[in-house]
Structure 1
Amino acid sequence: MRKASGLPADTLDHPIWSALSRYSIGPQDAALPFAARLARENGWSRAEAERVIEEYKRFCFLAVTAGHPVTPSDQVDQAWHLHLTYSRDYWERFCPEVLGRALHHGPTAGGSDEQHRYFTQYAETLRSYERVFGPPPADLWPDAARRLNEDHKARRVHPRDAIIVSRKLVPIALLLAVLSVLALGVLLLRS
């Protein structure tokens, strides 16, 4: 039976879920709170960052209760990476007081065996998520083929290292570039 929150009663009543629901990452008096930092570092709105944090909490719940290794979605992994940088909060408060155990992040060693293992783990994570929380939001938890396909992996680009143009603006940017080259050509021919 699901309660008004949309979660099954046994999940809502679980002590780890209760602790996760009350938990806020990082110092509460920070000028740049965790959600704002997560949004800024990933180019997300604050609302999107808050959604990712909620999914991160669900992932952590599965990590300690599912009974099998779990693999996060890309966005959830970004929240986890950032949380790990709050090392005192993560290791001294979150793991012992909220989860009741250490939760280590292990990157892939690479290769086809690892790819297969992570594909299988991620697919099992999605099945466990659905059993516990219902269908995962597809924009934050894509299917395993999309999540782990090399062509769809996220690439991190920092604005200080590149010029970022929205796909919607690419045709306009190309037109402006062509017009600039033509104008330069006309100026050179006149001189």
Structure 2
Amino acid sequence: MKDQALWERIDAHPMPKGFIDALTAQSGWTRDRAEETVREYKRLAYLVALVKTARRVPSTAVEQVWRLHGEDRSAYQSFCSEALGRDWHLPDGPVPRRGGRDMELTLKAYAREFGETAPARIWPDPNRRVRLGIAGGFAAAGAAGSVAASSVGPVLAGGALAALILWLGNRGSVEAGDHWWYLPGGDVGFDGSDGGGGDGGGGGD
């Protein structure tokens, strides 16, 4: 971890009184899941604070914590100034979805800083739809080949390739039924000034 003191300051900063209760009521999550997602929110905050020029983006679940936190302006401003040491502006309105590169870089930075893969149920796979499409194509091609050749070989081969693609995805951060959300282009998550949008932070993503 590049800045242990920064992480300890963020991790130790208290959330507003009654925050977990409000989060469980809003989201329908269990208390354990709500507490886990708050921790993941703080991990994102660390990644955001660590390198200003890197665009780090939240998963849907983490964004829900971020927005609820932002509703308490005083507590949120205290978190930004005392824990992060800088502003971290919430985007106005719905956060648009974009290509997967920003999320992929976020997840790589997460693994590098925390020494583990982001938990799949909080950070689902940004390329899940693409992978499902490719896997489905292999399976369909195999089925068509089997019909044409009157053999089970092609369908077995296609099914095996599809399963391999899905398995490789499951080795990372994958969760069915979720989507990725991104910060608007040009917004690095602090003050709206884009320091180039690069990854930064060294180590190479």
Using the size of structure 1 for normalisation, the TM-score is 0.62
- 1:147 and 1:25, CA in 2 relative to 1: closer, same or farther beyond 3 A? farther
AA in 1 matched with 2:91: G
What is the Cα-based RMSD across aligned positions, in Å? Answer: 2.5
Give the Å deviation of 1:123: 1.2
Give the Å deviation of 1:15: 2.0
SS at match of 2:98: helix
Q: State whether structure 2 residue 90 is matched by structure 1 residue 100.
A: no
CA distance in 1, matches of 2:7, 2:57: 19
Q: State whether structure 2 residue 128 is matched by structure 1 residue 143.
A: no
AA in 2 matched with 1:69: R
2:35 aligned residue:
50
Give the structure with the larger helix fraction: 1
1:158 aligned residue:
none
Unpaired segments ≥5 residues, structure 1? 1-9, 28-32, 155-191
AA in 2 matched with 1:77: E
CA distance in 2, matches of 1:62, 1:39: 25
SS at match of 1:144: coil
CA distance in 2, matches of 1:127, 1:144: 12
Unpaired segments ≥5 residues, structure 2? 133-176, 181-205
AA in 2 matched with 1:127: K
1:166 aligned residue:
none
User: What is the aligned-residue identity percentage?
Assistant: 31
2:185 aligned residue:
none
- 1:147 and 1:79, CA in 2 relative to 1: closer, same or farther beyond 3 A? farther
2:98 aligned residue:
115
CA distance in 2, matches of 1:49, 1:145: 25
CA distance in 1, matches of 2:20, 2:14: 10
CA distance in 2, matches of 1:73, 1:138: 10
CA distance in 1, matches of 2:105, 2:59: 12
AA in 2 matched with 1:75: A
Q: State whether structure 2 residue 22 is matched by structure 1 residue 34.
A: no
SS at match of 1:115: coil
Q: Which has the larger radius of gyration?
A: 1
1:17 aligned residue:
7
| Number of residue pairs aligned between Structure 1 and Structure 2 | 132
